[in-house]
């Protein structure tokens, strides 16, 4: 399951469970529509606390989606995770899609108020890795 929500600072994306490549393709198509009204610069919060690791096919589509958000004006993104495996997988995806320098990873099990920490990075550049 995925969800796209418009926020004052940009978009909140939620991914849960096992996502197939087909469902990821639907997310990319829905994102294209949502981004038609995007401001020139925006942030993205990605909640993946309940996502299972992606298949290689779904991972490829996720990379396409990340590139889409970046080309449409994403300045910063924060990914909230609760799995070391997913954290490693998504750091690799971000490096491959070219967005790693704008993205931060927040371990919901170790960071209280993970969403507030993510929003501080997105809106004010408060780097959670430098606290």
Query: What CATH number has the domain bearing residue 89?
Result: 3.30.750.24
Bigger pLDDT: 84 or 1?
1
Query: By percentage, how much of the chain surpasses pLDDT 70?
Result: 99
pLDDT at residue 75 greater than cutoff 70: yes
What tens digit of pLDDT does each residue of 93-119 get? 878 877 778 899 898 988 889 999 999
Identify whether the C-beta of residue 53 lies closer than 8 Å to the C-beta of residue 85: yes
Identify whether the C-beta of residue 68 lies closer than 8 Å to the C-beta of residue 37: no
Q: How far is CA 41 from CA 4, 73, 124, in A?
A: 17, 5, 13
pLDDT at res. 131? 60
Domain that holds residue 71: 2-130
Q: Please, where are the H alpha helices in the chain? A: 21-34, 56-71, 84-97, 114-124
Q: How far is CA 12 from CA 3, 55, 128, in A?
A: 8, 23, 18
Q: How many domains are there within the chain? A: 1
Q: With the C-alpha atoms ordered 34, 46, 93, 26, is the resulting torsion angle positive or negative?
A: negative
- Average pLDDT across the chain, whole number: 92
Considering 18-22, 64-68, 101-105, the range whose residues carry the highest mean pLDDT is 18-22
């Amino acid at each position: 399951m995925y969800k796209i929500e418009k926020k004052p600072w940009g978009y909140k994306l939620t991914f849960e469970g096992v996502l197939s490549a087909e469902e990821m393709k639907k997310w990319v198509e829905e994102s294209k529509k949502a981004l038609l009204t995007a401001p020139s610069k925006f942030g993205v919060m990605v909640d993946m606390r309940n996502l299972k690791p992606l298949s290689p096919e779904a991972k490829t589509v996720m990379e396409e989606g990340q590139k889409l958000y970046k080309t449409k004006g994403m300045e910063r993104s924060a990914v909230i995770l609760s799995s070391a495996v997913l954290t490693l997988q998504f750091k690799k995806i971000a490096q491959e899609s070219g967005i790693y320098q704008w993205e931060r990873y927040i371990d919901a099990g170790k960071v209280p108020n993970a969403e507030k920490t993510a929003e501080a990075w997105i809106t004010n550049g408060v780097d959670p890795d430098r606290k």
